[in-house]
Amino acid sequence: MRLVLTENLTPEMTLARNVYKMGCVYLKAGQRNISKYSERLKDLGVDYVYIHDEASEGIEIPEVVSEGTRHKCQDVLRETFTTIENNSPIDVNMFKTPVNTLMNEIMYNNDVQVSLTDISSMDEYTFGHSVSTAVYSLIIGQELKLPKEQLQELAMGAILHDVGKVRLDSRVLFKETKLTDAEFEQIRKHPEYSFEILKYCRNLSNDAKMISFTHHERLDGTGYPRHLKGDQLPLFSRIVAVADVYDALSTNRCYRNAWPVNKVVDFLTKLSGTELDNEMVAALIKKVAIFPNGTEVKLSDGSFALVVSQNAQMPFRPVVRVIRDADMMPIRPYTIDLIKDLNITIVASQMELEMEEEDQKKIVI
């Protein structure tokens, strides 16, 4: 299995994971000749899909959270947003079962290097982002050895942290061009809207509610809405701030493409100790796959390879399967464990290569 840019699909490729639209399976895993759907997928905002082909045979992409659990959480969120739009009170008890399942799967898969790549359509972004933020928050919380009761509160608050976006103008929220100052100020109101919605919810702790209000605050006081700093920021807010930034940058948005994981990690490291909490950043970086299984990378000898598996003790040096030479020509595949062969390094990730290719096209045009 591997991750492929939608526009690079070819007739011999078979879809390896479901593609969803509005909570329903749009294309089912096992669909052959997936290339005939490439235009439709791009129209949906699906830039990548997981496929099976000969080059990726035997490559497994472990899931820290199952596809079914992720989409169950998204379904409950979707229902909650509809409830809010209808000005009806929300029932947070709806989240208890899916959130507990989420926690149990993360705890069971504690040794897995996390590689969440959501291939849902663009209109699912808000729901997918909320669930992924909860997953990353739980991973950080688990690394901090928080007790199960706190993890549950953390997950509940994280999955609901953006409910206030339901009150924003969708034309502004999903605008593909640069926001005006007035539009940006509107977006910055969503933490207050979220807290207003959650503050009267029964069965949701105050610590969980405060996540919605403070997840955009920063240690140095540069965040919003209240410019809190340092010790004024609760533990849960410090955790969710890191999880929120990580997922926002590593996921496609309506106004920009996702960043490669290695670039996101570099960015978080730069913010660590100033805007973001050192301990929380370190906890997340320890658990993510810098170069996820099934993605293509360029090696220092010029060849191209698929990532086969991770070396947790040295995340920048996974096991790879070389599939193309420096001239991009297919070759007989062979495997290199980069933790053993120190003469070879990864010089670029799949997304970095595609970004370079896109930049070159713009120059030609």
User: Would you state the pLDDT for residue 363?
Assistant: 32
Q: Which residue has the higher pLDDT, 168 or 22?
A: 168
User: Would you state the pLDDT for residue 360?
Assistant: 38
Residue 318 and residue 324 in contact, taking contact as beta carbons nearer than 8 Å: no
Q: Strand 296-299 and strand 304-309: pairing?
A: antiparallel
Q: Greatest CA span in the chain, whole angstroms?
A: 62
H/E stretch holding 265: helix 261-271
User: Would you state the pLDDT for residue 113?
Assistant: 85
For residue 44, the domain's CATH number is 3.90.105
Shared domain for 106 and 170, answered yes or no, is yes
Is pLDDT above 90 for 254? no
Q: What dihedral do alpha carbons 64, 284, 262, 242 form, nearest 10°?
A: 110
Shared domain for 12 and 94, answered yes or no, is no
Task: Specify the length of the chain in residues.
Answer: 365
Measured between alpha carbons, how far is residue 276 from residues 12, 142, 211, 229 in Å? 45, 18, 15, 10
Residue 271: Cβ within 10 Å count:
18
Shared domain for 40 and 165, answered yes or no, is no
Shared domain for 302 and 360, answered yes or no, is yes
User: Would you state the pLDDT for residue 122?
Assistant: 56
Domain of residue 219, residue span: 67-287
Shared domain for 127 and 255, answered yes or no, is yes
3-class SS letters over 108-125: HCCCCCECCCCCCCHHHH
Determine the average pLDDT of the residues in 112-123.
67
User: Would you state the pLDDT for residue 329?
Assistant: 95
Is pLDDT above 80 for 354? no
Is pLDDT above 80 for 225? yes
pLDDT classification of 123: cutoffs 50, 70, 90: low
User: Would you state the pLDDT for residue 327?
Assistant: 94
Shared domain for 10 and 155, answered yes or no, is no
Shared domain for 275 and 309, answered yes or no, is no
CA 333 to chain centre: 30
Is pLDDT above 60 for 91? yes
Domain ends where: 287, 314, 335?
287
User: Would you state the pLDDT for residue 189?
Assistant: 96
Shared domain for 75 and 56, answered yes or no, is no
Q: For all residues of the chain together, what is the average pLDDT? A: 90
Token pair belonging to 122? 């663009």
Is pLDDT above 80 for 9? yes
Domain ends where: 261, 287, 313?
287
Token pair 């990730």 is found at 349
Shared domain for 197 and 140, answered yes or no, is yes
Residues 6+ apart with CB under 8 A from 103: 138, 148, 151, 152, 155
In whole angstroms, what is the distance from residue 120 CA to residue 336 CA?
32
Domain ends where: 241, 270, 287?
287
Whole-number percent of the chain with pLDDT over 70:
94
Q: Strand 14-15 and strand 2-5: pairing?
A: unpaired
For residue 202, the domain's CATH number is 1.10.3210.10
Q: Could you give the 3-state DSSP secondary structure of residue 276?
A: strand
pLDDT classification of 117: cutoffs 50, 70, 90: low
Strand partners, 256: 253
Shared domain for 80 and 4, answered yes or no, is no
Residue 105 and residue 65 in contact, taking contact as beta carbons nearer than 8 Å: yes
How many domains does the chain contain in total?
A: 3
Q: What is the DSSP letter of 204?
A: -
Whole-number percent of the chain with pLDDT over 90:
71
Give long-range contacts, CB 8 A cutoff, 24+ apart: 196-205.
Answer: 196/164, 197/84, 197/90, 197/163, 197/164, 197/166, 198/160, 198/163, 200/89, 201/89, 201/90, 201/92, 202/92, 203/92, 203/93, 204/92, 204/156, 204/157, 204/160, 205/153, 205/156, 205/157
Is pLDDT above 50 for 294? yes
Shared domain for 268 and 169, answered yes or no, is yes
pLDDT classification of 32: cutoffs 50, 70, 90: very high
Q: Encode 187-212: b = buried (16+ Cβ within 10 Å), e = exposed.
A: beebbbbbbebbeebeebbebbbbbb
User: Would you state the pLDDT for residue 224?
Assistant: 96
Residue 276 and residue 262 in contact, taking contact as beta carbons nearer than 8 Å: no
Shared domain for 320 and 185, answered yes or no, is no
